[in-house]
Amino acid sequence: MTEVVRLALEEDIGSGDVTSQACVPESQKARGRFLAREPLVIAGLGLLPEIYEMRGGVDELKVCKRDGDQCVKGEVIAVVAGRARTLLECERVAVNFLQRLSGVATVARRYADAVAGTKCRVLDTRKTTPGLRRLEKMAAAAGGIGNHRMGLFDAILIKNNHIAAAGGIRNAIERARLSGQPIQVEIHSREELRVALEAGAGWLLLDNLTPEEAAEWVREIGGRAQVELSGGITLENVRAFAETGADFVSCGAITHSARAMDISFRLEVV
């Protein structure tokens, strides 16, 4: 996370905050409050200490919430005190991270709530902002859903292009089995389903089915493999997919389409 924070600060501050240097005395002290301007699930609070430490530190940083907490409109999220220039030059980076990550956490909570009471769990995907994947997946987990693989390096997921390159689904599974890792296979047809089950795949990703089709396929699988549903999953239909008997549903929109939540920073001199 440190490198992401450093890059964000360098991008925004560059050679220096010329406005604060021109307008604010170097010795001026101030206090600032981060405020929720709408109901949200907060995430990204662990970045605040890093942000301020990279700019010389502050006198006080009081975090009033924990990642995953609900905030109501007008609620104080955190309070920071120190040199006014430091607070001003860190303001936008801090707010940007909190707004973006809270957006992911808030959407994730809505999906988690939508499937409550079923045996199905919502997962995120790799459809994340470049460079922010670890943070966005942390925010998704704070919102109450599960993390799918972090990247190409930590789990095998055989998709349609792998199947094409390997010369068929059976070839892909048999070669992947040599790795010793659990194997997940993306399935698009009944024939692929049959071959994958015969080849011993333990986790099947059923893509772009309707809830009715998914329920039928889940019955056919009959517990021989874990089932994940993907493609076309929305907040409006995720409950219907969860009630098919699948173990997981995954949704890229939780990270790639979450809007930034409205969080403000209010400063006063002391």
One domain, residues 74 and 208: no
Q: Where are the alpha helices (DSSP H) in the chain?
A: 2-13, 18-23, 47-53, 84-114, 133-142, 160-166, 169-177, 190-198, 211-221, 238-242, 253-256
Return all residues near 266 (Cβ < 8 A) that are at least 6 apart: 32, 33, 35
Tokens of 92: 């936008």
One domain, residues 199 and 228: yes
Q: Which residues does the annotation mark as catalytic?
A: 92, 127, 159, 186, 207
Do 183 and 176 contact (CB within 8 A), yes or no? Answer: yes
The Cα–Cα gap between 196 and 179 comes to: 17
One domain, residues 67 and 123: no
State the CATH number of the domain containing residue 137.
3.20.20.70
One domain, residues 176 and 246: yes
pLDDT tens for the 270 residues of the chain, in order: 789 999 999 999 999 999 999 999 999 999 999 999 999 999 999 999 999 999 999 999 999 999 999 999 999 999 999 999 999 999 999 999 999 999 999 999 999 999 999 999 999 999 999 999 999 999 999 999 999 999 999 999 999 999 999 999 999 999 999 888 888 999 999 999 999 999 999 999 999 999 999 999 999 999 999 999 999 999 999 999 999 999 999 999 999 999 999 999 999 999
Work out the angle at residue 34's Cα, subtended by the Cα atoms of residues 141 and 36, and round it to the nearest 5 degrees: 65
Element (H, E) at 60: strand 60-63
One domain, residues 104 and 201: no
Instruction: Determine the structural domain holding residue 135 and report its residue range.
Output: 112-256
One domain, residues 133 and 18: no
Instruction: Give the three-class secondary structure for 255.
Output: helix
Instruction: Give the three-class secondary structure for 108.
Output: helix
The Cα–Cα gap between 109 and 143 comes to: 4
Phi first, then psi: what are they for 96, rounded to 5°? -60, -45
pTM for the model stands at 0.95
HSE toward the beta carbon, residue 174, CA cutoff 13 A: 9
* 86, β-bridge pairs: none
* Structural domain count, the chain: 2
pLDDT at 254: 98
One domain, residues 179 and 209: yes
